Amino acid sequence: MSDHEWQAPGGSPQTPRPDAPSAPGGAVDPGVYGPPPPHGAWTPPPKPGLLPLRPLGFGTLLWAPFRTLRRNPAPTFGSGLVVQLVSAVATAAVVVPFLTVAITRLEGATEADADAILSGTVGGFLLLMLVPIAISIVVSAFLQGVMVVEVASGTLGDRLGFGALWRRAARRIWPLIGWTLFVGAALLVALTLLVLIVILAASISPIGLAVGITVAVLLGLGLVVLGAWIGVKLSLVPSVIVLEQAGIRTAMARSWRLTDGFYWRTFGTLFLVAVILNLAANVVVQPVSLVGTLLAVIVDPTGTGSALTITIVTTVVTLILSLLIGAITAVVQAALIAVIYIDLRMRKEGLDLELERHVEARGAGLPVADPYGPPAAHVPSGAGTPSPFGSERPATWS
Mean pLDDT of 288-306: 74
Residue with the bigger pLDDT between 139 and 61: it is 61
197: pLDDT strictly greater than 50? yes
3-state secondary structure of 13: strand
pLDDT digits (tens, 9 = 90+) for 124-142: 776 677 777 777 777 778 8
**Residue 44 pLDDT level (bands cut at 50, 70, 90):** low
97-101, Cβ contacts within 8 angstroms, sequence gap of 24 or more: 98/124, 98/125, 98/128, 99/125
**Residue 47 pLDDT level (bands cut at 50, 70, 90):** low
From CA 364, how far away is CA 348, in angstroms rounded?
28
Contact in structure between 367 and 375 (CB atoms under 8 Å): no
From CA 20, how far away is CA 158, in angstroms rounded?
17
What's the pLDDT at 24? 42
What's the pLDDT at 22? 43
74: pLDDT strictly greater than 90? no
What's the pLDDT at 381? 38
